Amino acid sequence: MPADKARGAQLREYLNDAREAIVWKCQGLNDAQARTPLTPTGTHVMGLLLHLAVTESQYFMSCLGREIENRVIRGVIASKDPQADFLPPPHMTLVDVIKIYRETTVAADAVLDELELDSPAVVQWWVRHRHTTVERLLVHMIAESHRHAGHLDIVREQLDGFVGLRPSAPNIPDLTPDHWEEQRLRMKELADGA
């Protein structure tokens, strides 16, 4: 496999690992749980997922000269509210947002399949690197997706105690709830003594 193809495959693998984790963190929640804000800034599962769908659409569609077909995402982008991508409309369900996210990643992959890593891209809202490449967009979206997968880890654990990296690699010790509580208390003790 040529070096560019191998590098592209590796980047896509890292992006797909994040996508898998993101959808997994949403499974099994009801709409009320998925909309529950769990930080002072209102971070919640549905908002993170909609934001990621909008972000993938912008980078892998708009920045590559493609039209965004999803009308919900187009509406979010057109909104004057700078937080619109984190605020799913009241009528939307978690199932709706998961569907939008999955459709977005499929559409993004179709575009990426057509292009090379050095294909040109234009990111109008970037100050640095405005004129860039597909490779930089992939690296950026990997970072963005893994960052928000981490946010989903934290809010999901707060909602119902669900933890783990992704279904194919949970990457967390198989401790009992009592062991986790002992560990938490030890950490709190250290923090209180600092």
CATH assignment at residue 108 = 1.20.120.450
Q: Is the pLDDT of residue 35 over 90?
A: yes
Range of weakest confidence among 2-6, 19-23, 41-45: 2-6
Is residue 1 very low, low, confident or very high in pLDDT (cuts 50, 70, 90)?
Answer: low
Parent domain of 79? 3-193
Instruction: Scan for tokens 């509580």, then name that residue.
Output: 181
Taking alpha carbons only, the member of 19, 74, 125 closest to residue 66 is 74
- pLDDT value, residue 99: 98
Inform me whether the pLDDT recorded for 118 exceeds 70: yes
Asked whether the beta carbons of 186 and 55 are under 8 A apart, the reply is no
pLDDT at residue 131 greater than cutoff 90: yes
Average confidence (pLDDT) over 54-61:
98
User: Would you say 141 and 149 are in contact if contact means Cβ atoms under 8 Å apart?
Assistant: no
- pLDDT of amino acid 23: 97
| Percent of the residues in the chain that have a pLDDT greater than 90, as a whole number | 87
Mean pLDDT of the residues in the chain: 95
Q: Give me the mean pLDDT over the 158-173 stretch.
A: 86
How many independent structural domains does the chain possess?
1
